Amino acid sequence: MKEKLAIKGGPRAVPEGTVKPWPPVDEVDRKMVLASLEEDCHTFAHNCEALQEEFAAWNGNKCAITTNSGTAALHMGLVACDCGAGDEVIVTAYSWSSSVTCVLHHNCVPVFVDIDFDTMNMDVDRIEAAVTPRTKAIIPVHLHGLPVDMEKVMAIADKHGLKVIEDACQAHGARFQGKKVGTLGHCAAFSLNQNKCLCGGEGGMFVTDDEEMLEKAKSLWSFGETRTPLEDRDYHVYALGWMYRNNELSAAFARAQLTKLDRYLAAMKANAQRLGECLQGVPNLILPTEPEGCDHNWYNYTIRFDMEALGHAGDACAFRDKILEAMKAEGADVIVWQRYILPAMTVFQAKNGYGKGCPWDCPHAGRVDYSPEQYPAAQKHADSHVGIGTPLRSPNGPEVAELTAAGIRKVMENIDELEQPA
């Protein structure tokens, strides 16, 4: 006998209060943050310096600068790679908005590439067709913690003399062919936001092995000055700059969390594996892939619904939302991470980022077309996915993954109830 869905008055699959919040805070965090609070400097001082050194050592980079966000670190990457007015930067059609708006921040023009539906990452086989004489860089996003095929990306970059800025904001600890993301391109950005695998509340990290690129990024990071706050500053602005520095309290929290990051990542991987095992055979569900040579960190475990098989290809987004609400009613902590493909967002459709058509109408820019129908794989994904994050994070264990899977299975095995009128 079929069990009644919770959204229709049946019992929840996941009991109230089962999923514990992220990140867990313990005495290590309290000690380091409170020690920072008792110190005299709360802007940029020894915790920020130490975080830079410790993160660079953990990830395998020669140089690191801690920032106030992953978005800031991405913008710094554009500057480090000498991208400027009218230069084109190849980006993915599906990600968080700042994976692309960072390009606008430096008056450059984004050129979108559709995703590969199976991996959800930029379709690397479509990159070369997007290269023009104006192309300066590529920003591959390791979306949800799955590495992009960086061997192919770097081969294209080398062939055309392009720079590669890795967006690793969600991908701490993920590896491609045994190497950590953030060490594969010319530079990279990580996020330390609340939701990220390494949490500082807010914050980010710019990394590179190139000291010249580091110095260029620093000029944007600190008001356009060339000397850091820890040096003898002359307070002279040498170039256009922002204030992208991190602060001591966030850095202290991130340092404490970094001491536990490897343990957290191992738990996420184990929990994701258990979730995947429990979801095997669930009808009309498309499970995420992990291609050979890729080591996923499982920042998000993203599933898609087979809308063609469900008979809802024509109203995929609306029916996905029905499934989402039914899963939430079961207590399964699932979300729609990003509802919109990036080219369809107003700022790109209007081509009016700075007003008066800039940067697209600037003298150095070329013509680009953002017609959404060019990105069918991204649109299909956006309309048919939900993601699971917190249930896979510490302190949650495999038993939470099992209950989450039970909630998802219950909905999918009783999907006909969602076809009935309320």
Q: pLDDT, tens digit, for every residue of 323-377?
A: 999 999 999 999 999 999 999 999 999 998 888 888 999 888 999 999 999 999 9
Residues 281, 278: Cα–Cα separation, whole Å: 8
Domain range summary for the chain, segments of one domain joined by +: 27-259
Q: Name residue 388's beta-bridge partners.
A: 301, 334
Amino acid at 356: K
- Walk across the sheet containing 88-92 and list its strands: 63-67, 204-208, 187-191, 163-167, 135-138, 88-92, 109-113
Residue spans of the chain under pLDDT 70: 1, 224, 226-235, 421-422
Residue 421: per-residue pLDDT: 64
Q: What angle do CA 170, 88, 153 make, to 5 degrees?
A: 50
Residues 408, 325: Cα–Cα separation, whole Å: 11
Q: Name residue 245's beta-bridge partners.
A: 67
Are 181 and 139 in contact, with CB atoms under 8 Å apart? no
Residues 159, 151: Cα–Cα separation, whole Å: 12
Residue 3: per-residue pLDDT: 83
Residue 240: per-residue pLDDT: 77
Are 347 and 359 in contact, with CB atoms under 8 Å apart? no
Residues 237, 46: Cα–Cα separation, whole Å: 24
Task: Retrieve residue 333's tokens.
Answer: 């902590």
Burial (CB count within 10 angstroms: exposed 0-12, middle 13-18, buried 19+), residue 195: middle
List C-alpha distances in Å: 317 to 98, 241, 321, 339, 373.
23, 41, 6, 9, 16
Residue 321: per-residue pLDDT: 98
DSSP 93: S
For 44-57, letters b (16+ CB in 10 Å) and e give bbebbeebbebbbe
Residue 138 backbone phi and psi in degrees, to 5: -125, 135
Residues 74, 78: Cα–Cα separation, whole Å: 7
Residues 86, 70: Cα–Cα separation, whole Å: 23
Task: Retrieve residue 110's tokens.
Answer: 């984004």
Q: Name residue 365's beta-bridge partners.
A: none
Q: Name residue 49's beta-bridge partners.
A: none
Burial (CB count within 10 angstroms: exposed 0-12, middle 13-18, buried 19+), residue 24: middle
Domain 27-259 CATH class label = alpha beta
Task: Retrieve residue 50's tokens.
Answer: 């130490």
Q: What angle do CA 341, 347, 352 make, to 5 degrees?
A: 150
Task: Retrieve residue 347's tokens.
Answer: 């700022």
For 281-319, letters b (16+ CB in 10 Å) and e give ebebbbebeeeeebbbbbbbbbbbbebeebebeeebeeb
